């Protein structure tokens, strides 16, 4: 079975395109951009412009679209966290900007919870010149944990919105405001819902960082920082094309236009209709897995993640439970990854939502799938479960 894809640029390199059932994660290529976004980038590539003028105008438009005081485009969410950290360290002090990452005095500590297990997030705040004060556990962090860690050296509080809730964020914003310490929110993969592009800055978060190439649907090498005007200006001063620590994290004119177009498209899309279509794709995959002895597959409905304590993402998922079958999840995943159209899925325990078991379960997400790929996944599952 083959997919209807123009794959010549990949096959020339001997690279095999995949069906991305893991969602919009970096190692699997993020998300396929819409034709509108790709066309805008092609158009942008045909002219030279004054970079600072383009960045200023694009960021003004992004701020207006999201209701934020300001916006800045980075080269990915990890870069956005790095630039946000630099902004908290220096403000608009040009002398401090010029000597990063070696600030000799002042506020240089970031309070960050160990709930965010992504090592590169922690590295971003160290790399820009900060020192980390880690609080909480791998599973939870409290308002008191953050509050007790604040000193006269604290430059910012870092909050991971992927595992921590909206209510917890509200509490941490209150803590930051009480101590006059900015709150930086890692919201890289938490779209949908698109309301996360508008709600978090309204709540009072000082800087919120998003991936441009995940739920937003823009170029994979872009990120978006939204937040308070003064700190966004500090991001700009620390970033490309200035002679500053973020100069190496370049975003091109094509990516700027691509991200802007993607946000415009996202904000005008009918999100409920998209989620409904995704649910239908999940149901198709579930139908392909069910009906085999001991195999139990189900669609996890949008927003069910909130039942587990997290506000987002809103995307539905598929969970296929092999505990009571003659199959095991790793065997099926390996077969999917090595079929004619390699299909990426997850057997990571932390990605399950409602299934009690934390092992022998396959998890799929529809966020990076294209039309027709759910049917391919369902057919491959049928073949694997029938022919063992």
What confidence tens digit (pLDDT) does each residue in 78-132 have? 999 999 999 999 999 999 999 999 987 789 999 999 887 788 899 999 999 999 9
Q: How high does pLDDT run on average in the chain?
A: 91
Helices 51-66 + 196-203 axis angle, to 10: 80
Say whether both 244 and 217 belong to one domain. yes
- Which CATH number belongs to the domain containing residue 191 in this structure? 3.40.640.10
Say whether both 253 and 383 belong to one domain. no
**Residue 47: is it exposed, middle or buried by C-beta count within 10 angstroms (0-12/13-18/19+)?**
exposed
Task: Tell me if 346 sits within 8 A of 337, measured CB to CB.
Answer: no
Q: State how far the Cα of 342 lies from the Cα of 340, in Å rounded to an integer.
A: 6
Residue 2 lies inside a defined structural domain of this protein: no
Q: For 141-196, write each residue's pLDDT tens digit.
A: 899 999 999 999 999 999 998 777 888 899 999 999 999 999 999 999 999 999 99
Say whether both 181 and 291 belong to one domain. no
* Cα distances (angstroms) measured from residue 354 to each of 117, 277, 364, 386: 21, 21, 13, 27
Cis peptide before 356 (omega within 30 of 0): no
Residue 375 lies inside a defined structural domain of this protein: yes
* Cα distances (angstroms) measured from residue 218 to each of 10, 38, 200, 226, 260: 20, 9, 20, 16, 8
Element (H, E) at 296: strand 296-300
Say whether both 143 and 284 belong to one domain. no
Say whether both 210 and 243 belong to one domain. yes
Task: Tell me if 384 sits within 8 A of 295, measured CB to CB.
Answer: no
Could you list the residue range(s) of the whole structural domain that residue 124 is in? 35-268
Say whether both 219 and 306 belong to one domain. no
Query: Which of 207, 242, 268 is where one domain is finished?
Result: 268
- pLDDT (0 to 100) of residue 353: 55
Say whether both 95 and 50 belong to one domain. yes
Average pLDDT over residues 68-85: 98
Say whether both 214 and 242 belong to one domain. yes
Q: State how far the Cα of 177 lies from the Cα of 171, in Å rounded to an integer.
A: 10
Q: For 294-345, write each residue's pLDDT tens digit.
A: 999 999 888 765 544 444 558 899 999 999 899 999 999 999 999 989 999 9
- pLDDT (0 to 100) of residue 86: 98
Q: Please indicate whether residue 168 or residue 286 has the higher confidence score (pLDDT).
A: 286
Say whether both 246 and 303 belong to one domain. no
Q: Number of folded domains in the chain? A: 2
Average pLDDT over residues 47-64: 98
Say whether both 218 and 126 belong to one domain. yes
Helices 51-66 + 253-268 axis angle, to 10: 10
Q: What confidence tier does 351 reach under pLDDT thresholds 50, 70, 90?
A: low
The phi, psi pair for 154, rounded to 5°, reads -75, 120
The pLDDT > 70 percentage for the chain reads: 93
- pLDDT (0 to 100) of residue 302: 84
Q: State how far the Cα of 182 lies from the Cα of 89, in Å rounded to an integer.
A: 10
Q: What confidence tier does 4 reach under pLDDT thresholds 50, 70, 90?
A: very low
Q: Is the pTM value of this prediction over 0.85?
A: yes
């Amino acid at each position: 079975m083959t997919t209807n894809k123009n794959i010549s640029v990949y096959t020339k390199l001997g690279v095999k395109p995949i069906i991305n059932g893991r969602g919009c994660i970096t190692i699997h290529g993020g998300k396929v951009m819409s034709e509108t976004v790709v066309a805008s980038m092609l158009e942008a590539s045909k002219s030279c412009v004054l970079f600072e003028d383009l960045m200023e105008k694009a960021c003004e438009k992004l701020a207006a679209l999201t209701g934020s005081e300001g916006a800045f485009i980075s080269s990915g969410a990890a870069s956005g966290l790095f630039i946000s950290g630099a902004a908290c360290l220096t403000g608009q002090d040009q002398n401090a900007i010029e000597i990063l990452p070696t600030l000799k005095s002042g506020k240089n500590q970031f309070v960050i919870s160990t709930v965010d297990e992504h090592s590169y997030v922690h590295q971003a705040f160290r790399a820009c010149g900060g020192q980390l004060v880690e609080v909480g556990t791998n599973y939870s962090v409290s308002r008191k944990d953050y509050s007790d860690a604040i000193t006269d050296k604290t430059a910012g509080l870092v909050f991971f919105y992927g595992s921590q809730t909206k209510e917890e964020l509200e509490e941490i914003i209150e803590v930051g405001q009480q101590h006059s310490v900015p709150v930086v929110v890692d919201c890289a993969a938490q779209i949908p819902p698109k309301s996360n592009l508008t709600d978090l800055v309204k709540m009072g978060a000082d800087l919120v960082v998003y991936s441009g190439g995940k739920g937003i649907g823009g170029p994979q090498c872009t990120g978006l920082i939204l937040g308070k005007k003064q700190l966004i200006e500090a991001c700009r001063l620390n970033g490309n094309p200035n002679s500053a620590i973020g100069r190496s994290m370049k975003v091109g004119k094509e990516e700027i236009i691509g991200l802007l177009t993607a946000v415009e498209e996202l904000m005008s899309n009918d999100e409920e209709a998209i989620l409904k279509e995704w649910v239908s794709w999940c149901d198709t995959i579930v139908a392909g897995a069910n009906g085999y002895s001991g195999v139990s597959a189900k669609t996890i409905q949008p927003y069910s993640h909130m039942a587990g304590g997290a506000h987002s993402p809103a995307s539905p998922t598929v969970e296929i439970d092999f505990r009571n079958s003659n199959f095991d999840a790793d065997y099926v995943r390996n077969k999917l990854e090595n079929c004619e159209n390699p299909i990426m899925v997850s057997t990571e325990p932390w990605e399950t939502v409602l299934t009690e078991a934390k092992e022998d379960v396959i998890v799929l997400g529809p966020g990076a799938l294209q039309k027709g790929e759910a049917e391919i996944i369902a057919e491959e599952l049928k073949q694997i479960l029938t022919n063992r």
